[in-house]
């Protein structure tokens, strides 16, 4: 879901460049406090991971396949700050190097995918994790639900941009039902893959999972 | 990644400073996007001008069009537009189309294509590293530039890692055909994350051992001469001229 040039009018695109700049600026600050000088290599390698994992095809039915978007996955694995940075860099590189997504639409895409999708996903993750019992499978379930919500959340961001500055002629309500409808379906796929991937990482290196880290109990010393 | 997209040639377009090219590309797209689609003569002018610049940059047209195929998904979206909508309708052959939808859909395809072609000329005539330098020059925060340069440096390494995992799966007779194989693929994605993260940690430690303190060493940047500013700003400027002339003709 990359927005091309000229799809949303120039004033709206410019306004969202501003909003995205504020969001990414906040993420830069947040990542520095969370990761210190580790930020560049770790967010960089997360960006590579997202970029690579988007090329991993998951077969659906009859020759069709889908791929992961990875906003919620990145937020759970490395934290929302680094996830925002990694996804922004992925979008920047896709637009500048592959012409995938318009250069003047970058602000719109960054807002939808690296800000709304990541943060809505992370908020949902925190809420669900709080409700469920504190164990590894709840982290995977929470990540899964977060992913399911994060995809239509990005589509919702697109819909807002469409309502404000559309150059197309589809009615707002038609765009809403079709975009949200399709992305709820995509979100289900995203949820399954995200849950399974988080489970796999938790099984071997749970210490790397940001959403799990604060959960580790200190070892108890028992007197027998 | 970047080196596969870059086409090594000697041309004015290749030799211009990258930050100027980025500015010119965005300015050109802004001009094109702001032009009303009903001024169709202007768009013919823009397309000719884009192809002229591609020719000056010695980019083969076949390469240009092959890479432009990336826009196919959104063209589908635009093609639907004349069929669903409201307002005045007209009959074209077997179809009963909405006039406004047709105009809007055409606008999206035409403007999107101009944007894609411009971005392709940029990435074909400029190495990925140079584009990054250009963005840095245009005040992209240093940390973002570092993250992006790590991405460029390691993307092939991580892709190869993913490819090796695929070979390992294939050699065990695994074939992904449906939902039941998602668990295996997701486990591979998890393994890929762990390997990427661990590589990030190793890279960080090796950077620290070389004295990294949060900033990367820098070459001195040269100021661009007025003449190269002039050359590169021709790209959006010609578009403006086309826009003005066609608007004047249209108003007569």
Residue A203 lies in a domain: yes
Residue A57 lies in a domain: yes
Residue A82 lies in a domain: yes
Distance CA A44, CA B158 (A): 12
Q: What is the pLDDT of residues A77-118, one digit of tens each?
A: 989 999 999 999 999 988 998 888 889 999 999 999 999 999
Q: What is the pLDDT of residues B114-139, one digit of tens each?
A: 999 999 999 999 988 888 888 888 88
Does the beta carbon of B27 lie under 8 angstroms from any beta carbon of chain A?
no
Does the beta carbon of B64 lie under 8 angstroms from any beta carbon of chain A?
no
Q: What is the pLDDT of residues A16-41, one digit of tens each?
A: 999 999 999 999 999 888 877 777 88
Per-residue pLDDT at B220: 61
Residue B196's pLDDT band (boundaries 50, 70, 90)? Answer: confident
Instruction: Read off the CATH number of the domain in which A194 is found.
Output: 1.10.1760.20
Q: What is the pLDDT of residues B48-58, one digit of tens each?
A: 999 999 999 99
B140 HSE (CA, 13 A, CB side): 21
Nearest CA in chain A to B139: A21
- Can you tell me whether residue A166 is helix, strand or coil? strand
Per-residue pLDDT at A6: 85
Nearest CA in chain B to A95: B119
Structure tokens at B221: 């940047």
- Most confidently predicted of A161-170, B77-86, B138-147: B138-147
Per-residue pLDDT at B214: 66
Chain B residues lying within 8 Å of A104, measured CB to CB: 26, 29-30, 33, 115
Average pLDDT on A122-133 reads 93
Q: What is the pLDDT of residues A56-75, one digit of tens each?
A: 777 776 666 677 888 999 99
Nearest CA in chain B to A207: B194
Chain A contact probe: residue of B74, B81, B140, B186 with most A CBs at under 10 A? B186
Per-residue pLDDT at A104: 92
Q: Which has the closest alpha carbon to A50: A65, A68, A38?
A: A68
Q: Do B141 and A25 touch (CB under 8 A)?
A: yes
Residue A45 lies in a domain: yes
* Cα→Cα distances A44→A8, A37, A88, B56, B73, Å: 30, 12, 11, 35, 28
Q: Which of A124-138, A167-181, A193-207 has the lowest mean pLDDT?
A: A167-181
Does the beta carbon of B118 lie under 8 angstroms from any beta carbon of chain A?
yes
Residue A223 lies in a domain: no
DSSP codes, B139-204: T--HHHHHHHHHHHHHHHHHHHHHHHHHHHHHHTT----SGGGHHHHHHHHHHHHHHHHHHHHHHH
Position A182 pLDDT exceeds 70:
yes
Q: Do A10 and B135 touch (CB under 8 A)?
A: no
Q: Which of B104, B179, B193 has its CB closest to that of A49? A: B193
Residue A5 lies in a domain: no
Q: What angle, 0 to 180 degrees and rounded to 10, lies between the N-to-C axes of helices B128-137 and B99-125?
A: 100
| Residue whose tokens read 């995938």 | A100
DSSP codes, A42-69: HHHHHHHHHHHHTTS-EE-STT-EE---
Position B178 pLDDT exceeds 80:
no
Per-residue pLDDT at A66: 72
Per-residue pLDDT at A200: 92
Q: Which residues contact A6 (CB under 8 A, 6 or more apart)?
A: A102, A104, A167, B32, B33, B107, B108, B110, B111, B112, B114, B115
When divided into structural domains, chain A yields a total of 1
This prediction has a pTM of 0.89
Residues 149-208 of B with CB under 8 A from A: 149-155, 157-159, 161-162, 176-179, 181-183, 185-194, 196-197, 199-201, 203-204, 207-208
Chain A residues lying within 8 Å of B214, measured CB to CB: 37
Per-residue pLDDT at B252: 62
Position B171 pLDDT exceeds 90:
yes
Q: Which of B119, B197, B214 has its CB closest to that of A45? A: B197
CA distance A223 to chain B (A): 37
What is the ipTM for the molecules in this complex?
0.87
- Count of A–B CB contacts within 8 Å? 259
Chain A residues lying within 8 Å of B107, measured CB to CB: 6, 167
Name the residue with higher pLDDT: B87 or B77.
B77
Residue A128 lies in a domain: yes
The contacts found for A221-224 with CB under 8 angstroms, 24 or more apart, are none
Length of chain A measured in residues? 224
Q: Which of A25-29, A99-103, A220-224, B28-32 has the lowest mean pLDDT?
A: A220-224
Chain A residues lying within 8 Å of B26, measured CB to CB: 103-104
Residue B152's pLDDT band (boundaries 50, 70, 90)? Answer: confident
Domain that holds residue A197: 10-212
Please list the alpha-helical segments (H only) found in B6-140: 12-15, 18-34, 40-56, 61-68, 72-80, 99-125, 128-137
CA–centroid distance for A78 within its chain: 11
Per-residue pLDDT at B120: 92
Per-residue pLDDT at A124: 96
Residue A172 lies in a domain: yes
Q: Which of A37, A48, A100 has its CB closest to that of B158? A: A48
* B91 CB burial (10 A radius; 0-12, 13-18, 19+): exposed
Chain A residues lying within 8 Å of B193, measured CB to CB: 49, 53, 77, 197, 201, 208
Q: What is the pLDDT of residues B204-223, one digit of tens each?
A: 888 889 887 767 666 666 66
Structure tokens at B249: 């003709």
């Amino acid at each position: 879901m990359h927005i091309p040039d000229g799809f949303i009018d120039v004033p709206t695109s410019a306004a969202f460049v501003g909003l995205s700049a504020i969001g990414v600026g906040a993420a830069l600050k947040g990542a520095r406090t969370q990761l210190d000088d580790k930020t560049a290599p770790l967010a960089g390698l997360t960006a590579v991971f997202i970029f690579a994992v988007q090329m991993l095809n998951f077969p659906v039915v009859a020759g069709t396949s889908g791929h992961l978007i990875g906003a919620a996955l990145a937020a759970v694995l490395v934290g929302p700050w680094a996830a925002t940075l990694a996804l922004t860099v992925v979008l920047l590189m896709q637009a500048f190097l592959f012409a995938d997504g318009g250069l003047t639409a970058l602000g719109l895409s960054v807002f939808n995918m690296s800000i709304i999708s990541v943060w809505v996903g992370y908020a949902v993750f925190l809420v669900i994790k709080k409700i469920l019992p504190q164990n590894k499978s709840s982290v995977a379930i929470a990540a899964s639900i977060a992913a399911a919500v994060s995809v239509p959340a990005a589509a919702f961001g697109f819909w807002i941009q469409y309502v404000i500055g559309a150059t197309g002629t589809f009615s707002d309500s038609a765009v809403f039902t079709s975009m949200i409808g399709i992305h709820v379906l995509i979100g289900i796929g995203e949820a399954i893959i995200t849950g399974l991937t988080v489970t796999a990482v938790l099984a071997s290196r749970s210490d790397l999972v940001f959403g799990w880290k604060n959960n580790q109990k200190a070892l108890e010393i028992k007197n027998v | 990644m970047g080196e596969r997209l870059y086409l090594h040639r000697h041309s004015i377009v290749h030799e211009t400073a990258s930050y100027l090219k980025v500015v010119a590309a965005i300015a050109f797209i802004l001009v094109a996007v702001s032009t009303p689609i009903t001024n169709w003569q202007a768009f013919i002018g823009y397309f000719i001008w884009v192809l002229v610049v591609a020719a000056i940059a010695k980019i083969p047209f076949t390469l240009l069009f092959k890479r432009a195929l990336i826009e196919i998904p959104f063209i589908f979206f635009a093609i639907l537009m004349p069929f669903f909508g409201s307002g005045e309708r007209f009959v074209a052959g077997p179809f009963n189309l909405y006039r406004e939808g047709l105009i809007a859909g055409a606008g999206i395809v035409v403007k999107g294509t101009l944007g894609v072609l411009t971005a392709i000329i940029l990435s074909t005539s400029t190495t990925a590293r140079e584009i990054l330098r250009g963005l840095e020059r245009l005040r992209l925060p240093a940390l973002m530039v570092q993250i992006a340069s790590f991405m460029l440096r390691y993307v092939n390494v991580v892709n190869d890692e993913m490819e090796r995992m695929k070979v390992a799966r294939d050699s065990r007779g695994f074939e992904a055909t449906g939902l039941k194989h998602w668990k295996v693929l997701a486990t591979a994605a998890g393994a890929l994350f762990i390997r990427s993260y661990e590589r990030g940690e190793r890279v960080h430690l090796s950077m620290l051992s070389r004295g990294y303190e949060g900033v990367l060493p820098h070459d001195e940047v040269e100021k661009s001469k007025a003449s190269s500013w002039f050359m590169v700003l021709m790209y959006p400027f010609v578009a403006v001229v086309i826009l003005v002339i066609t608007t004047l003709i249209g108003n007569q």
